[in-house]
Chains A and B, each alone.
Chain A
Amino acid sequence: MTDHSLALLDGESAELLPTRQALGGITINNIVAVNLAIAVNAGGWHSNAIALANQWIGVR
């Protein structure tokens, strides 16, 4: 009984909650508009820009 009661006291939970930050990802890497001269994120994270003469938008 004693150990049981102490175990119950130890089991009482107190949890720190993280700051709640509602995020809005700036997903500009969705646009992989490739232009040989002015591609904005040709080397951006996870983008696979290929320099082409044509304009295109790659959407992940």
Chain B
Amino acid sequence: MTQPISPQSAPEAHALSSPAPTIAPVPDARSAEPASAPAGMDVPHRAEGVSLLGEYEGGGYDEPRYLVSRGDGQMVLLSRMLYAVAEAVGDDRTLEEVAELAGRAYGANLPPQAAHYLIEQKLQPLGLVTLGPPVAAAPRADPLLALALHRVLLPAKVVRRLAAIFAPLFAPVVVIVVALALVALDVWLLGTGHANLSIHQSIGSPALMLAVLGVLLANTLFHECGHAAGCHYGGGRPGAIGVGVLIVIPAFYTNVTDAYRLNRRGRLRTDLGGIYFNAVFAIILGAIYLATGFAAIPAVIVLIHLQMLQQLMPLVRMDGYYILGDLVGVPNLFEQIRPILRHTIFRREAERSVTNFRRGTRVTITVWVAIVVPVLVAALVNILIFLPGFFQTAMINVAHYWNLGFAGYHEGNAGVVAVALVSVVILLVPWLGIGSLLTRTVMKAVRLIIRRRNASAPRHRRAGQTGHQQRELVESDVRGAE
């Protein structure tokens, strides 16, 4: 697990563990004019509930990144200098003291105006440090291709208990045994032809169909327990398990945001925990098949393998996406699409977010962007072109299964009713997902327009200064230092 850079209560210990900075030094604070922040605003405060979590281990950046968590659970990734400033804030230190402490920790001199600038422009808008009244509503990450319409099924408290129960499955010797058992099971099923036979014979009655669906749902829930247990095994605290819709796919989820603060190994264990638990589930089913000979089981095992392979695709936020992100050390790959495209396709000057990556990381992310963007665009075009046809087919089938359910009800056939209801739900879920995606896209666009409009207006900075005036102040302070 990551460690804080230094104890929060020991100012003298506020020294970043990394080597001296490579950036150009900021002018000497001691020779600069004193900060001219208005009275009452020169003592910055860390926002309530903010925790400094230390270095983001295994990052793919040239310079280390640091994690901070807000009181509302929102994680923020900071550069070294910002983290040094955030770490220096506290114990009623004045801006001058914060600047001196942060500069010492960073290894360069930082004028108070520069510290003020960083706090006001970077840390305060994110609700981490305040110079005046607290930020009313600090922003939260709101990725477009995230899970929508989510509802909690198991609260965090229950999930943590389950995670503690299952965590021993991550003991190395158990992992080896499970891997060997899975290989043996697969070889046996394929070699003896049991899988083929089962696929061709097994599914036909409503009851059997429901049983297969039930087992697959149980497998997916167990998959989530795997993520939670993996997170717990590495020292993290998993959150709730719930259900939602990923674009058009219904999905269970486990909140493992706390895994950000684990080291790379811990994060990868959390990512792979779901697939690992699928393997455990398949082995248990294999044992049941050996004991009972129930014909449908090999077909279900084949389907579980397909689920595992699907999870590994790094196109949307499935397991493969997080695995890739953790292998290259970049926690939010989708955020890199825009700067990579701007730089590689439109030949704009590379943003710092791109140049800050190590070479290998940058190449890997560029290849990922080159694959994922065309695939997602093609999928979107496909959906848009065939949307009317999909909708018509879905509605015809909803009507069909609705009528079928009624017929089953009148005949007293509970199995047919249940299958018909499940069918209707399956048919409607993608449309709920599309509706949610469209709504969020429109709302994001509206927010962006409003933000840009507001940004074009003069911004009220502090005590009557405009942003331009404040920038002038920083520049004059720096000139004074020179």
Contact = CB atoms under 8 A, between A and B. Distances in A.
A-B interaction: yes
Interface of A: 1-2, 4-6, 8-31, 33, 35, 37-45, 55-57, 59
- B contacts with A: majority SS: helix
Interface string B63-89: 001000000011111110110000000
Given A19-B257, A22-B224, A14 B122 contact: yes
A2 B26 CA distance: 9
Contact of A25 (B227, B270, B318, B475): B318
Interface string B13-34: 0000000000110110000000
Nearest to A43: B397
B252 A24 contact: yes
Nearest to A8: B23
Nearest to B271: A22
Contact of B252 (A11, A26, A38): A26
B117 A41 contact: no
Contact of B319 (A1, A16, A23, A38): A23
Chain A to chain B: the 5 pairs with minimum beta-carbon distance, closest first: A43-B397, A22-B227, A16-B141, A24-B223, A21-B253
B24 A57 contact: no
Interface string B282-323: 000000000000000001001100110011000001110010
Given A18-B143, A23-B252, A44-B427, A38 B416 contact: yes
B422 interface: yes
Contact of A42 (B270, B273, B307, B423): B423
A1 B28 CA distance: 13
B24 A5 contact: yes
Contacts of B248: 45
Contacts of B250: 25-26
A52 to B, nearest CB: 12
A13 B75 contact: no
Contacts of A37: 404, 416
A16 B76 contact: yes
B140 A20 contact: no
9 contacts: A1-B24, A5-B24, A12-B118, A17-B76, A22-B256, A25-B251, A29-B426, A37-B404, A55-B203
A13 B203 contact: no
Contacts of A15: 76-78, 332, 335
